[in-house]
Structure formats: structure tokens, C-alpha cells
């Protein structure tokens, strides 16, 4: 991990893509004129072992992405919650996390994104941070594991900056910590009550890094706790603040915004015009 500030992102240096269907993320990137794609491997709401549904499987997808110059990012299923004290969720979450990690490595992914998760009460927070330590310590991190901030919940592990700081402190002594990074979601940060004009510097002061930006406008108001994405410029976030996050983070960008190639190309153009 490096504490060095990266070069600001410009319209020329921007690496951008979208969250796309899993069957052919390379073709999806090419249809958008993008340099990267994010996708799920398997059911985002299920517990089944991931299967790469690409013609030729994981090796073929990896080769196609390399040939096309497309970076791949895998998003772990939403059901994963390695922080919880509920054994019926935490234990399967750890198992599926390793399976997702293995699949991400097989396709040559640049990172595996996972939500920070939550516990059931303030009294369980310390146990939740300890469970995160154990998850990092016991998972074979074959590609970077990018922990994503979340929008809602009073007992979330990665909504507020102070919780992110406690989480980072907890996992910092785990084996494999050097392969843990951070994914900053703008909709989640805004809806979670974090000021986008300062959040990049604040997160970097805690984690030392921002590896990926999920660039999403928010349908709902600041500190609403609502995770509802919308197209860039169509939500409640100031356009200059959205562009400022990308510029300051100096990291690749994934738009998890509605629509297909045409809508995503409009999002990309919207951002480039402001960089």
C-alpha cells in the first residue's frame, strides 16, 4: 500500500467503463467504447458457487480481455456479509468470498469488490470488525479485495468515515492486508452523509488508497441512507462534486448507472466534459 497521492485524472487519462451483463463483458466494453467492465460471476442475490458463463469459460474470457485491452472487475454478490455475528450468514459468506476470489483470479480481474456489510446493533460492532479481520486473514487474496462504502444502516461497517477507520485498523494486522483496497461509491457516500468535496482526502487519510470509483448520481438526498443510483447529472449530487471525486481519486471509474451502451456513453461524455 502506498500513501502517495496519484496524479489527478483528466479526460485524457480517464479509464472508465460500466457494470454490465456477465456473459460477455469484453463485448460490452467495446460497445461502450470503454476500457473496463465490472460484472457479477453468478447470482448477485444467491449463494451458489460462481460459474463463468462465457464461451470457453474463464481462460477464454481472460484471453479476450487481454487482447482487447479491457480491464475486468468482479463484484461479489450482495448477500455476502462477513461482519455479521449470524453464523448462518457469516460462514457461507466466507466460503463464497473465497469462491468468488478464485473465479476473479481465473478471469484475470483487476479486483473483487465487496460491500462492507453490517451487524445488528452497536454492541456488536467490535465483533463485526474482528470478523472482518478473520475474513481477510483466512481468505487467499489472489486479486485485490476492494471494500466498498455503503449508503445506509445505523450498524454498517463502512458507511461513516469513523467506521471505515475502525474497520481499517481491525484488518491492518491480518495476513493479506496488503491486497486489500478501497472502492469509493459516490452515491453511497452522498446518501451515507459524507461530503463529496472532502471524502477523497478523508478516505485516503484512513486507507492510504482509493483503487476504484463507482461513479453514480443519487436519486435521494444527502444523508438519506437510500442506495438508489441514477444517471450522471440527473440526481441530487452537484455535478462539480462528482467530477471532483474522479479528478482527485486518480482511480479507474465504473458507472453503475441505468441503461445500456447509449446511456453509458452519455454518462462517459458527461464526465469527460467536466474533467
Contact indicator for 141, 176 with CB cutoff of 8 Å: yes
Whether the pLDDT of residue 163 is over 60: the answer is yes
Indicate the fold that domain 16-274 takes in CATH.
TIM Barrel (3.20.20)
User: In 180-214, which positions are buried (b, 16+ CB within 10 angstroms) versus exposed (e)?
Assistant: bbbbbbbbbbbbbebebeebbeebbebbebbbbbb
Q: What is the mean pLDDT of residues 134-155?
A: 97
**Could you report the per-residue pLDDT of 166-193, keeping only the tens digit for each?**
999 999 999 999 999 999 999 999 999 9
Per-residue pLDDT, 5: 84
pLDDT of residue 1: 46
Quote the longest CA-to-CA distance of the chain.
50
pLDDT digit string, tens, across residues 46-77? 999 999 999 999 999 999 999 999 999 999 99
Instruction: Round to whole Å and give the CA distance between 146 and 99.
Output: 16
* Category of 186 on φ-ψ map: left (φ > 0), alpha (ψ -120 to 50) or beta: alpha
| pTM across the whole model | 0.97
Q: What value does the mean pLDDT of the chain take?
A: 97
Query: Does the structure show a pLDDT above 50 at 152?
Result: yes
Q: How far is CA 143 from CA 16, 64, 97, 207, 248, in A?
A: 20, 19, 12, 18, 24
Q: In whole angstroms, give the CA distance from residue 255 to residue 231.
A: 9
pLDDT of residue 210: 98
Domain borders along the chain are: 16-274
Average pLDDT rounded to a whole number, residues 122-151: 98
| Model confidence pLDDT, tens digit, residues 94-118 | 999 999 999 999 999 999 999 999 9
Amino acid at each position: 500500500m502506498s500513501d502517495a497521492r496519484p496524479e489527478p485524472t483528466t479526460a485524457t487519462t480517464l479509464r472508465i467503463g460500466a457494470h454490465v451483463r456477465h456473459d460477455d463483458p469484453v463485448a460490452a466494453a467495446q460497445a461502450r467504447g470503454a476500457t473496463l467492465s465490472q460484472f457479477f460471476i453468478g447470482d448477485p442475490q444467491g449463494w451458489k458457487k460462481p460459474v463463468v458463463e462465457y464461451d470457453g469459460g474463464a481462460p477464454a474470457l481472460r484471453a479476450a480481455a487481454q487482447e482487447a485491452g479491457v480491464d475486468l472487475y468482479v463484484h461479489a454478490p450482495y448477500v455476502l456479509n462477513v461482519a455479521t455475528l449470524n453464523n448462518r450468514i457469516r460462514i457461507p459468506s466466507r466460503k463464497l468470498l473465497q469462491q468468488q476470489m478464485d473465479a476473479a483470479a481465473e478471469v484475470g480481474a483487476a479486483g473483487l469488490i465487496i460491500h462492507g456489510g453490517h451487524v445488528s446493533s452497536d454492541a456488536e460492532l467490535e465483533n463485526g470488525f474482528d470478523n472482518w479481520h478473520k475474513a481477510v486473514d483466512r481468505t487467499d487474496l489472489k486479486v485485490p479485495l476492494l471494500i466498498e462504502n455503503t449508503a445506509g444502516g445505523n450498524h454498517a461497517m463502512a458507511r461513516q468515515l469513523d467506521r471505515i477507520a475502525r474497520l481499517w485498523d481491525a484488518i491492518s494486522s491480518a495476513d493479506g492486508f496488503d491486497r486489500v483496497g478501497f472502492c469509493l461509491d459516490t452515491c453511497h457516500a452522498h446518501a451515507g452523509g459524507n461530503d463529496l468535496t472532502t471524502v477523497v482526502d478523508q478516505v485516503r487519510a484512513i486507507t492510504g488508497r482509493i483503487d476504484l470509483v463507482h461513479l453514480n448520481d443519487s436519486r435521494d438526498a444527502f444523508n438519506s441512507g437510500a442506495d438508489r443510483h441514477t444517471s450522471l447529472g440527473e440526481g441530487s449530487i452537484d455535478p462539480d462534486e462528482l467530477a471532483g471525486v474522479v479528478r482527485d481519486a486518480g482511480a479507474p471509474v465504473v458507472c453503475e448507472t441505468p441503461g445500456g451502451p447509449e446511456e453509458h456513453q452519455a454518462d462517459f461524455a458527461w464526465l469527460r466534459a467536466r474533467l
